Copies of this chain bind each other. A is one copy, B any other.
Amino acid sequence: MTIDVTPTEDAEARLAALVELSRRARALADAVVLTDVPESEVTAVAAELAALTERLGALRRESPRSFELGPGGVPRNVGNAVTGSANPHALPLVVRVTPERTVRAELSFRPVHAGPPASVHGGVSAMILDHLLGEAVAAAGFPGVTGTLTLRYRRPVPYGEPLVATAEYTRSEGRKTWAEGRIALPDGTALAEASGLFVTPAGWLGRGAGDETGSKSGQAPVRER
């Protein structure tokens, strides 16, 4: 993959503005599901929203931003549906690699993620865990695409409360790699658990350290989910 765009100060400032716009769009979505203002006000806001959408559409890309290298050559994917800071749909999930090369995300679901009363939709938990396990295999040096994923639902997942999601590599056989993870209360009580099999595409293997899309020793490549 050739990365054409060298990040510049201007490009970084524009990205920061897009990240802020996405944050505002998430806040708007939260306000939509919680609003009790009268119908006339709902309709008035909808009309203004359409005008803002038209302004953003004055110059339109064909697809969201995908894999790119940020300052210092750090890979990022700001358009990703789960982690993308410039995507209003994303939680966004902020995943950190621990010194033990497991992955960890502190998160809090929002009212837009509701399924059962006062609880997060099981499908939303599945979405988060799929991503997290993929990050875990990448952090361990075995990046791959999800082959199979199994979810076990233990307890209702609340929204509006701090939670912790963690995942870790368990084993590999050839191009297959397994990982496990969970969404838990801060005290460690597991709410939803997942185990998954990831497959490293043949095309990802055998690339040298000079190839920015391959795995480098000591540096997990960005994952594209």
Contact = CB atoms under 8 A, between A and B. Distances in A.
A196 to B, nearest CB: 9
A148 B62 CA distance: 37
Given A63-B111, A126-B126, A31 B45 contact: no
B55 A41 contact: yes
A200 interface: no
Interface string A42-84: 1111101110110111111111111100000000000111101
A177 interface: no
Given A13-B39, A29-B29, A152-B148, A80 B115 contact: yes
Contact of A81 (B13, B22, B113, B152): B113
Contacts of A28: 25, 28, 49, 52-53, 56, 88
A49 B26 CA distance: 10
A17 interface: yes
B114 A79 contact: yes
B151 A149 contact: yes
A55 B124 CA distance: 28
Q: How many copies of this chain are found per oligomer? A: 2
A75 B10 CA distance: 51
Contact of A20 (B31, B46, B63, B128): B46
A21 interface: yes
Candidate in A18, A28, A36, A46 with the most chain B CB atoms within 10 angstroms: A28
Given A64-B111, A148-B152, A49 B33 contact: no
Contact of A148 (B20, B35, B150): B150
A7 interface: no
Given A79-B114, A224-B115, A37 B58 contact: yes
Given A20-B43, A121-B131, A59 B32 contact: no
Q: Which 3 A-B pairs have the closest CB atoms?
A: A123-B127, A123-B130, A115-B225
